[in-house]
Chain A
Amino acid sequence: MTDFSDYKGIWVFCEQRSGELMPTDFELVSEASRLAKEIGCKVTGVVLGNGMEAASKELGGYGADEVMVCDDPLLEVYTTDAYTKVLCDLVNEYKPEVLLMGATNIGRDLGPRCAARLHTGLTADATHLDVDTKEYIEFLRNASTIDVETVKLDEADRNLKMTRPAFGGHMMATIICPRFRPQMSTVRPGVMKRAAFDQAKADACQVIKPAFSITKEDIHVEVLSVEKAAKKMVDLIGANVVVSVGRGISKNVKEGLALAEKLADAMGGVVGASRAVVDAGWISSDHQVGQTGKTVHPKVYVALGISGAIQHVAGMQDSELIIAVNKNESAPIFGAADYGIVGDLFKVVPDLLKAIESERAAR
């Protein structure tokens, strides 16, 4: 087996947009800090941008032992070429054992390019990470249908076990990268739990400014402009309540969506949707919950007319309370729900709106 003793530490590539770190960065640093305890190593946050030194220390508060900051006008806005070059040069120089980044549209552009250049494997969109085999078996006990008592695994195995959904969420696969380093994974935003912020740790966090080189000639794609979406993007991940609609609204799409919006308003939430609804073009894809959409864990998740394909359930099963309304009593969604009502959403939702109103009036 190849000797990897030169490779040490966990790196988290921390993405910034317009000079601000992304929420995913804090989730990943928190998770990396948990893993670092299993491995016994340091966590390094890597920030590429322009004038990012001050903001980067915040990563320490979530578990980064140090941050590596590369400031340069050419790094202010993300380009594949510049970021790949700088990040890969740093990796080759410092040799981290693990490199994580958020599976954002940028992380999913940068990650594969870097993995190809670094000649290593990359796991996409991981939702769970383990090093310790015992911990992994405990994870399987809860998250799989495998009878873990029959599973024989090498307890000395120290490979990073990166678990991710596959086949549209119908399956989970744990991926390892035993022959190459660093072990790389993009990690799905919103999945890892952010640790409590510790100001003392943030203050103690070391900032390293490594040497790097980047020139205009390295960059083959010119950024003409960066635009924020005019309409507010749906904040599914941060929402307390998500009211999602599925194919059940097909009878009257307009009214179905309007009902979902009314219910979401009444409960202080936002509207989500199943893949079928997005694919049909009835709602934009930023509403999509599920394997190919977003993973949410709100306090209340309401599934209206959603059959509950595993790919959808994968994106909402960690919600604190799940309510399902479906005409078909054998719909799989009821298997994932805390409360279920068999009925036509076009009748149940108006009833529910009335009932919520009278509950409120009664108080």
Chain B
Amino acid sequence: MRLDIVLRVLAKLLIPFALMFASYVQFHGDFGPGGGFQAGVIIAAAVIFYAVIYGLPSARKVVPDGVIEAMIALGVLIYAGVGVVGMLLGGNFLDYFVLAHDTVHGQHRGIFWVEVGVAVTVSAVMLKIFYVFAARRRDAEEESS
């Protein structure tokens, strides 16, 4: 498949659009259908597409395992961090009302950052699952050889 020029060129053309679409789903999620989970899955899908066409090793070069693991943890920290910021500003845990002077604005800000956290963790978890499954046969072959 590596020599198939059509697939390689198409993938290169499509992946930026997939990532763009992910960011649309992410940031427009405040006003319409979408949000961090969906955007995270689309980001992961773009990388998986890359891995399918260009092979797992090159995908692992673009998004290394260490980065994925850090992202899984980071997303949770961002989410919970928003909650803690709410507490430090005098509200309750995950209190978005106190995040800005205007309560509606505060809700927007809270949701925005929480969804960023969700997107980071979800995309990383999806990729981690893909890497683990995709690497299974490879690792087994390396062990036997």
A binds B: no
Chain B residues packing against A (C-beta within 8 Å):
none
Chain A residues packing against B (C-beta within 8 Å):
none
